[in-house]
Structure 1
């Protein structure tokens, strides 16, 4: 979900954002924002965009279909005297969940997977993720809640849920999904190059309790931290077509979409903007002309030397199916 704060409200001010969680107001520090699925971006003119995962910590989730979000914006002027306080509530509906969804945002990685139930055994990338173990989990752990997590770095490190939260990771269950979230550059994430593109990897085995059994879910996210090539005229972004950690067999790409600032563009708008989205044997490739109206130029003068940067934020959305499991990601 995206909310946009107009420059007329924020220009010349220091902005603080808090989550509204019932009657509680929770200030979103950079650390908590990354742990809980919030990110923010602003341009030099004060236009601010806030992006919130539908599965974020303080989003009111109704049956994984309707999501109610509350945010408080506080703008301060000189001397930190409060100028404006503005509360926003929004509702979004979304039900087209894939079996596994991976979100690579500017400050965090998130993976959510359809939870195993006793009636619906699930495999993910050929690995069995449900087992029945009696008395393996403390009685204090409530049904449908997480007990512990094993982080693969690729060495293994085990944490119970409260320790994972203290370390800065997000982990929760919703009515149907297991949700894991990690900021970038955490001790339990690791880097790997895939098809020439540097990626950051987040891989976890999660143990959670059901009514009379212990379920184990293997989850992983891989997010690009590079893959850019640019000239004075064109920015080219390469994303690996196949990431071995996420895919154990051949895949079929079902859909590809390009967007700007988190919003899809149709083919007509892409043609007008001269954006290109293509698939090669190894990569999904986005090309953007430098100077397109979706970005902006900014001047810099470090050490009395004049420079200009051009900034634009494309989005890539992929839907693929693994041929061995028929699981969509």
Structure 2
């Protein structure tokens, strides 16, 4: 059993990870300011502390009080479109929050750190359709840059003061708990599977496909969708890797299989009760044509095997969760 401090543990990915950590026998504390998270998403077995990670003294106090052995840092703003309109907020929250946490770790003696990053750090630099950790980084938006800068802060700090770390670069996270106990609670979350689920239960009149002239087989963007529970399992393995004395690493999190926007919508329509209309629209700024993960490094290092690598499973669990929110 280890003592794991989770920032942003009331959010979508964070709350699923908290549940998986608890099921694995670890003791968990959560810090969240509930700006986008939900207290009801945090399991009762976890200790909860309301506060902002940018308050380094507050965080250090909780680290010491809880006697944390590893930190998993989820707390961040993550809307690509919003980051183009509010870059200062994104750098302040995402970079400032990471820096504050690292200061608290140094002060409290926490030597293990897992960082929630994103495939957005790669931008559109991929030329062969598959992105490895060695693919050049070239973010297209402030959100991606805020994560890449935070990665650099972490690697520099780790080298200097001995904080071992794992950086997980997520591809598209979607779906909900298979037992129906948890899912995406944010009504205005912008990712495709969530929007399709809302349309599938009648909360939206339809969907738009933004861009049909990309250099892909059907002209729409391709993404690697990973089920949120598989991603949560990865974080448990990452924490256990560091606690065993494992080396620092930067790892892609995806299935290595991409689905186009049209393919995802087709899957969503297959499980939907409300057969929603689909409209074609112009491209959005900052959307790369294709993001598909080469996650072999992560699978080999952590011994992870995907359990839910199926777009229909992802769409079905998301839809079933959305139904519970409609009741």
Superposition TM-score, scaled by structure 1 size: 0.25
Question: Which one has a larger percent strand, Structure 1 or Structure 2?
Answer: 1
Which has the higher relative contact order, 1 or 2, with Cα contacts under 8 A spaced 6 or more apart? 2
Bigger fraction of residues in helix: 2
Of the two, which has the highest radius of gyration?
1
